[in-house]
Amino acid sequence: MNERQPNSPYPSFLGRGWSFPPTFNRSDGMAAMASGDTDIRQSLWILLSTSLGERVMLASYGCSLMSKVFTSLTTATANEICALVRQAIVQWEPRVTVEDVSVEEQDDLEGRLSIIISYVVRQTNSRSNLVYPFYVLEATIPPPPE
């Protein structure tokens, strides 16, 4: 069934939900909505930002990336991060097929990584990617400029 939702160019099978972060229109008090590719991208962001056990009624939702904070970046750690991300997406985001997940070190002193996810939206066969920043040295202060 390829019904279109009112005021949306996206078919209903791609989904529609609250935008992230949640915002409300001052004029009518309604929540801002996201649909289609935007909804998928925001859902992936929420999935990667949620730690396992964080949602009380759905404890297995999320990705255990926080277990990698303060971990040295080695090839094994990078592979573990890729596996965690791929597993979370396969389990919780049925609208996409993961093509590739890679980790790139962005700033060694700040402990910042980029998790690059390439995926295909199953129903439309459109390819997209998401770059998720991850800090392995959370709560550290960057060195002062010279």
- The DSSP-derived string for 83-118 is HHHHHHHHHH-TTEEEEEEEEEEEETTTTEEEEEEE
CB under 8 A, 24+ apart: contacts of 71-78:
71/136, 73/103, 73/105, 73/113, 73/136, 78/103
The mean pLDDT of the chain is 80
Q: Smallest Cα–Cα separation from 19: which of 37, 42, 40?
A: 42
More confident residue, 123 or 129: 129
CA 64 – CA 79 distance, rounded (Å):
14
Our CA angle for 124, 126, 131, nearest 5°, is 135
Residue 14: band (very low, low, confident or very high) from pLDDT cuts 50, 70, 90: low
Please identify, in words, the CATH class of the domain defined by 12-51+60-135.
alpha beta
pLDDT at 110 over 50: yes
Helices (H), 24-92: 36-49, 75-92
More confident residue, 70 or 119: 119
CA 122 – CA 18 distance, rounded (Å):
21
The answer to whether residues 95 and 14 touch, using CB atoms and an 8 Å cutoff, is yes
**Tokens representing residue 75 in the block:** 């090839």
Rg (CA), the chain: 17
Which residue in this structure is represented by tokens 């060694």?
A: 108
Task: Check: pTM over 0.85? Answer yes or no.
Answer: no
Candidate ranges 19-23, 63-67, 116-120; pick with highest mean pLDDT: 116-120
pLDDT at 3 over 50: no
CA 17 – CA 39 distance, rounded (Å):
7
